[in-house]
Structure 1
Amino acid sequence: MKPSVYIGIDLGGTSIKMGLVDQLGNILHTLESPTPVKAGYHQILAVFSQMAEQLFRKSQYEWKDIIGVGAGVPAFLDQQKGIVVEAVNLGWDHVPLKADLERMWMVPIMVDNDANAAALGEMWSGAGKGASHLICLTLGTGIGGGVIINGNIYHGANGCAGEVGHITVKPQGGRRCNCGRKGCLETETSATAIVSDALEQVKGMSTGPLKDEYDRTGTVSAKSVVQLAQQGDSICLEIITKVGCILGNTLAQMCYLLNPEVIVIGGGVAHAGKILFDPLTKAFNKAILPRVAENTSIVPAKLGNLAGLTGAAWLIHRKYTLNKP
C-alpha cells in the first residue's frame, strides 16, 4: 500500500514546478512546464491539471493517495479566502484560486505567497530544518522574503509581512524601484542591481574582463559578474562585496526586531558563495549586538528551486496532518 502524499506547486511568471512530496518533506517526483501567462488564468489551471496527470503516470500515484495540494504564487493574497488579490507578473486580479482548484480536483487546497512557501520549504527539509524562528531571503531578479515565527509564516495584518525587498536601504540617491519608491533593498542587492552596477562600471572602462564580457555580448549578466568576481576580478569583487555589506547591515536591523535562529539566503545571487557571505557576515556582526546575534546563524539555502513546491506541500502537511491552524 502506497503512503499518502502531497502535491506542491510553485507557480512563477516563467515556469510552473509541481512535485509529489511525502510526509517527511522528501520530494518524490517533479515536473516543470512553461507558464502560459499570455493565455490567461484558466489556461494555467488547465496546465496544472495536465501536470498532475503526468505526475501520476510518472509515479503510479492516484488522486486517492493525495492528502491535498499546496500552491505558492507570486502575489498578494487574501489568506482566509484563498483569493489572489493581485499577481502583477501573471496579470491576475482577484481570482479565486483556492475555490477553483478545489472544484477541479476535489481535494483540500492551500495557497500562499511564493516567497513564504520557499521559507517553509527550507524550514521543513532544507537549511532551516529544526528551526522555529527563521528569515528566508531569495536573491534573484528581485528579492523575496519570508518570516517564520513559532514554526508558522507570519503574514501580518493583510498578508504583506516579509516584503523585505522594499526596505529602504539608500534613502538618498537610490535607484527607482518597480514599486515606485527609491533605494529599496532589491534596487541595491538583487541580480538586477548587480547588472546595473556592472554597466555603470563598464562606462568608464577601456579594458578588463568585465569590459571584454560587455564587448562580446553587448551586455553583462549577474552570473557573469559573480563568475568574474570568483576568478579575482577586482571590479566585480567590489560589486559583490557591496551587495554583501548592504545585506549584512539590513539583516542585522531585522534581527533586532525578530531575533531568528536562522537566516537562509537563497536565489541565484547566493551562488556567489564565500565572496558574498564573507562581507555579509562581517557587516552583520559589525551592526548587531553580540547578545542578539549569538543564537543566529546565516546559511545558504539547500533546496534551490524546489524550495517553493516543498513549502507549498508543507501548507497541507501542517493543516491536514499536523492539524495546526
Structure 2
Amino acid sequence: MQLLSIHERIGSRKHKEIYELIRRQGTVSKIDLLEQSQMTGSTLTRTLEELTAQGWLVEAGFGESTGGRRPILYQTNPLAGHVFGLDISRMSSKLILCDLHMNKLESKSWIMDENMTPVRLLNEIAETALAMMEAHGLTADGVLGMGIGAVGPLDRFAGVIMEPLYFPAAGWRDVHITSFLQEKLGFPISLDNGANTAIIGESWSDRNRDYRHLLYVHVGVGIRSAMMSNGKVVYGAVDMEGSIGQMIIQTDGPRLGDHGNYGCLETFASIHALEQKAHSRLKQGRESSLRYMEKDPDKISFTHLVQALKENDPLTVEIYSQAATYFGIGLSNLLNILHPEKVILGGSLISSHPSFFQMATRVAIRNTYHYPTYQVVFSQGHLGEEALVTGAAIMIINQLTEV
C-alpha cells in the first residue's frame, strides 16, 4: 500500500516554516510572523493565504492595534487532521485519538497481563482505532498517522519491537508492529521507544521555556531514558532506551535474573529490584506489615509495597530509601557526563511516593561535580504517565514540518 508521507502533506519549506512558527506559539499576528520569519511581506502574505486555503491555518480574530489597522491573528487549524498516539508498556498500554491541537477525543487502555499477547493486543488496537474513526466520522485520509512509543529494544526504521524483557504474556519478540497496523488501518505508523516519545511530549508541553538540553528517565519495571539536545532527540547507533539501567553501580553486586550486568542500576532501583529485596528480607525474618498482606513472601508485589509505604512500614521505608539512594547515584553519573539543563523523572516508581523523587534528587545533587556552579532543574513533568502516549501523537504532528 502506497501511503502519502506525513512530511509531504505541507509542500514547501516556506509553508513548513510558517506553520511551525504558528504551531509553537498558538496564536500569532502577521506582524510578528514578518519579524520572525525574515520573509518579505508579499512572500509571507502569499504563504499565509495558501496555508489558509489548504485548510492548515485559520484566522483567529484581530490583535491589538499599534497605531494602524489591527493585525490579523493566525492559528493552526485543529481539524486539518487527526492523530493517534499509542503507548505499549509492560504494565498497561494506551491508545488516544487527538486533533492537531492535541485535544483528546477518545482513549482506551489495556492491562498487560499474561493473556495480552502481541497478536491479541494489535488486533484490539486496530479494531479500537477503526471504531474511534467511525465515531468521529474520520476516514484514513483524515488521519495523519499513528505514533507508537514502545518498550525497547526496537528497530524504529523497520518498525519492529525486538526482544523486550518482563512482558507478562509470551510472544513479545520480533513483533512487526508498524507493517501490521499500517495494513489494517491504511495510514502511516511510526515507532520509537517510549522514553523518546515521553521526552517529545514533555518538551512540547514546556515549549515556552527555552531548555536546550533535556534528560528524561522513566523508572518502573525497568529503567528507560532519553536525551534531547537543541530540540532534537539524541539517537545512538543502537536503541538506547534501556542503557541507563545497565550502568554499573557496584562491580560485585547482584544480577536480576539471567540477563544484564552484575551490579547494574536496574538491579537496585526498579520495581523488580524492590520486590526481590522485600521477598529476601521477609524470608530473613524481618518484621513488616507486608506479612499481614500476603502470607507467601514471594507473592508480595509492588502494589503491596506502595500500600505499606503509605503506612510508614519501617522495612518498606528502608527498601525504598536504599533504592532511591542508588538511583540518585546513577542519576549523578548522568549529570556529570551529560550536564542537562532539566531532568524529568517519570514512571510508576517515581510517582508511587514523593519520598523517592525527593531522596533521589538530593543524592544526585550531592554527587554532582560542578554543583553549585552547574544548576539543574528536576521535575516530574507536566504530563505524568500520559507523557509517553501524548508524545507518540506529537511525534506524528512534528513530521508535518520535517524537510
TM-score (norm: length of structure 1)? 0.84
1:78 aligned residue: 155
SS of the aligned residue for 1:215 comes to coil
Instruction: Compare 225-234 and 261-270 and name the one that shifted more.
Output: 225-234
Whole-angstrom CA distance in 1 between matches of 2:373 and 2:208 = 16
**In terms of Rg, which structure is larger?**
2
1:68 aligned residue: 145
Q: Spell out the pairing of 1:174-193 with structure 2 (5 A cutoff).
A: 174-193=254-273
Deviation at 1:60, TM superposition (A): 4.3
1:133 aligned residue: 213
Whole-angstrom CA distance in 2 between matches of 1:113 and 1:154 = 12
Name the % identity. 24
Which residue of 321, 324, 334 corresponds with 1:241? 321
Q: Spell out the pairing of 1:163-202 with structure 2 (5 A cutoff).
A: 163-202=243-282
1:163 partner letter: S
Which blocks of at least 5 consecutive residues in structure 2 are unaligned?
A: 1-77
Deviation at 1:110, TM superposition (A): 1.2
1:323 aligned residue: 402
Whole-angstrom CA distance in 1 between matches of 2:349 and 2:373 = 24
1:4 aligned residue: 81
Q: Is the 8 A contact 1:154 1:161 kept in 2?
A: no
1:23 aligned residue: 100
2:10 aligned residue: none
Deviation at 1:299, TM superposition (A): 1.6
TM-score (norm: length of structure 2)? 0.70
Whole-angstrom CA distance in 2 between matches of 1:266 and 1:3 = 32
Instruction: Compare 95-104 and 191-200 and name the one that shifted more.
Output: 95-104
Instruction: Compare 234-243 and 301-310 and name the one that shifted more.
Output: 301-310
Are the structure 2 counterparts of residues 261 and 276 from structure 1 closer, same or farther at C-alpha, using a change threshold of 3 Å?
Answer: same
Deviation at 1:126, TM superposition (A): 7.0
Q: Which has the higher contact order (CA 8 A, sep 6+)?
A: 1
Q: Is the 8 A contact 1:171 1:182 kept in 2?
A: yes
Instruction: Compare 246-255 and 121-130 and name the one that shifted more.
Output: 121-130
1:314 aligned residue: 394
Deviation at 1:190, TM superposition (A): 0.7
User: Is 1:289 the counterpart of 2:372 in the alignment?
Assistant: no
Deviation at 1:275, TM superposition (A): 1.5
Aligned residue-pair number: 323
Instruction: Compare 279-288 and 228-237 and name the one that shifted more.
Output: 228-237
Instruction: Compare 97-106 and 144-153 and name the one that shifted more.
Output: 97-106
Whole-angstrom CA distance in 2 between matches of 1:307 and 1:28 = 17
SS of the aligned residue for 1:75 comes to coil
Which residue of 336, 344, 349 corresponds with 1:264? 344
Instruction: Compare 193-202 and 51-60 and name the one that shifted more.
Output: 51-60
Which blocks of at least 5 consecutive residues in structure 1 are unaligned?
A: none
Whole-angstrom CA distance in 1 between matches of 2:326 and 2:208 = 22
Deviation at 1:33, TM superposition (A): 3.5
2:236 aligned residue: 156
Deviation at 1:114, TM superposition (A): 2.3
Are the structure 2 counterparts of residues 126 and 59 from structure 1 closer, same or farther at C-alpha, using a change threshold of 3 Å?
Answer: farther
Whole-angstrom CA distance in 2 between matches of 1:37 and 1:205 = 31
Whole-angstrom CA distance in 2 between matches of 1:175 and 1:160 = 20
Whole-angstrom CA distance in 2 between matches of 1:271 and 1:18 = 21
1:54 partner letter: A
Q: Is the 8 A contact 1:147 1:161 kept in 2?
A: no
Which residue of 279, 284, 287 corresponds with 2:359? 279
Q: Spell out the pairing of 1:218-233 with structure 2 (5 A cutoff).
A: 219-233=299-313
Are the structure 2 counterparts of residues 84 and 216 from structure 1 closer, same or farther at C-alpha, using a change threshold of 3 Å?
Answer: closer
SS of the aligned residue for 1:295 comes to coil
